[in-house]
Structure formats: structure tokens, C-alpha cells
Amino acid sequence: MKMSVWWLATAVAFLVPATALPQSMALCRATPELLALGSTLPVARKAIAAGKLRVIALGSSSTSGYGVSNPAYAYPAQLKMGLDKALPGVDVDLINRGIGGQDVDEMAARMRTEMQENLPSLVVWQTGTNAAIRHMPLDMFERRLRDGLKLGKSLGADFVLMNLQYVPAVVAVQDKEAYERIMAQVAKEFDAGLFRRYDIMHSWYNDGMPYAQYVQLDGLHLNDFGQRCIGRLLTKSILGALTGP
């Protein structure tokens, strides 16, 4: 209870109506180091060479686009637009499989069905935030994450893990960095990319960007700017992995 009160108080203190702050995408930024995925995405590279790239965005409310004023602002839609623009002549098919409120175990459980129905070359798996704020035991979180990646990789797709959000509801969690470390370790072991959303958003905050610039008043979900920016930066990360050495 005390923790919930703490982050709610933090949200009230730092979150003012988003309309009171500029929403210029010029503020959308991340260093090259933070954008590096750590994987060359070989399956997706082959798919692009063949002229057809199918991407599944698997996740919870961040992926479904909860609370955005326009569905086109959700990060999967932004990723689709960015890939279309950067890859002329390639048929990019992006399938959004975000279900609000789901955790890592529920996503892992439906992964086979989601992938077999529309076999992808790349899966962007957004997870970790719900596990952290619900205090899922770390060993269980790691086990479910490994199970999901093992299954998904066996079905022939590349993976990019998108880790936690830096928002008041997560900042209030005492062992939040432990979930982040587990995701980094498991991504490396499975040769999956890691999109470091937590560190990127933390850098915004450290640079003086208020929560209200990118977080809704609930202190948890991203607003229009946050979703659009994460989508654009994710696109840069994936394109960098696809075109790098």
C-alpha cells in the first residue's frame, strides 16, 4: 500500500496535463549506444532480401496502444510506417498482438498460436512492466521469458525484447532493475535483440524531460508523444541491426 501511495504521489507531483507541454517530436531522442539491439536479426534480413517481412508485435497495453488519441500513434503502427518508408519494394506486414493487462506467462502461453497463424520473421516482444509492478517472483519471470524465447526461436523467427518503461509506477518498484537485468541476460543467451526502453526513457528524465511529456496521468501508460517516440526509436534500432555489419 505504501508503495502504491508513493508512486501515485509522484505522479501527481510530476504529471500535469500533457497539453500544457510541447509535443514536438524534435524532443524524441536516444544515443546510438542505447539504440543498439545487440543482434543482426539474420532471419529478418533474409526475409527482406526476399521482399517480404512479417513482424508480430506481442505484448500488453503498451503494444495495444492503450490511451493514445489516434491508433496510428501506437508504437507498432509507427514501426510499420517507418519500415515501409525505409524499405521500398519490401512488403511489410505488421500484426499487432497486444492484449492489455497480460503478463509474461500469458504471452508465452499464446505464442505458438500467434506465430503459427501468421508465421513471422521478426517478433517484437514487449514485457516486464506488468511483472515488475505485480512483483512476479524473479525466478518465475526468468523461467517464463526463457520458455517463450525457446519456443519462439524454434519456430524460426528473430526476436527483439522490449523491456520495462521508466514511469512512476515502475520507478516505485524496489527491484525493478532486476527484471531489466534478467531481460538483458536472456536476450543475449538467445541471440535476441534488446530494445532498452527503460534506459532510453530514463535518459529523457535525467535530461530534464518531465513525466508529463511522455506519460499519461495514470503514471503508467505512455501518451501520444511517448508512443510515437518509442515507435520511431524502435524503427531506428531495427533498421540499424538490419543494415549494420
Which CATH number characterizes residue 177's domain?
3.40.50.1110
Question: Who has greater pLDDT, 75 or 4?
Answer: 75
Q: Judge contact between 124 and 162, C-beta under 8 A.
A: yes
State the pLDDT confidence band at 23, using cuts at 50, 70 and 90: low
Domain count, the chain: 1
Q: Any alpha helices (H) in 73-218, and if so which ranges?
A: 75-86, 104-117, 129-133, 138-154, 168-171, 176-189, 197-206, 211-214
Per the domain annotation, does 15 fall within a domain? no
37-74 pLDDT, tens digit per residue, is: 999 999 999 999 999 999 999 999 999 999 999 999 99
Over pLDDT 70: what percentage of the chain? 90
Among the listed residues 108, 2, 91, the one whose alpha carbon sits nearest the alpha carbon of residue 54: 91
Q: For residue range 91-130, what is the model confidence (pLDDT) as tens digits?
A: 999 999 999 999 999 999 999 999 999 999 999 999 999 9
What residues make up the domain containing 195?
2-9+33-243
Q: How many helices (H) and strands (E) does the chain have?
A: 13, 5
Whether 17 is covered by a domain: the verdict is no
pLDDT (0 to 100) of residue 26 = 86
- For residue 44, tell me if it sits in a domain: yes
Domain assignment present for residue 182? The answer is yes
In a domain, 64, yes or no: yes
Residue 94 DSSP SS3: strand
Let me know if residue 223 belongs to a domain.
Answer: yes
Pairing of strands 52-59, 122-126: parallel
Please give the model's pTM, rounded to 2 decimal places.
0.89
The whole-chain average pLDDT of the chain stands at 91
Question: Which cell is 238 given?
Answer: 531495427
Q: Are strands 91-98 and 158-162 parallel, antiparallel or unpaired?
A: unpaired
- Mean pLDDT (whole number) for 212-223: 96
In Å, the largest CA–CA distance within the chain is: 54
- Given a cut of 80, is residue 159 above it in pLDDT? yes
Q: Which pLDDT does position 243 carry in this prediction? A: 87
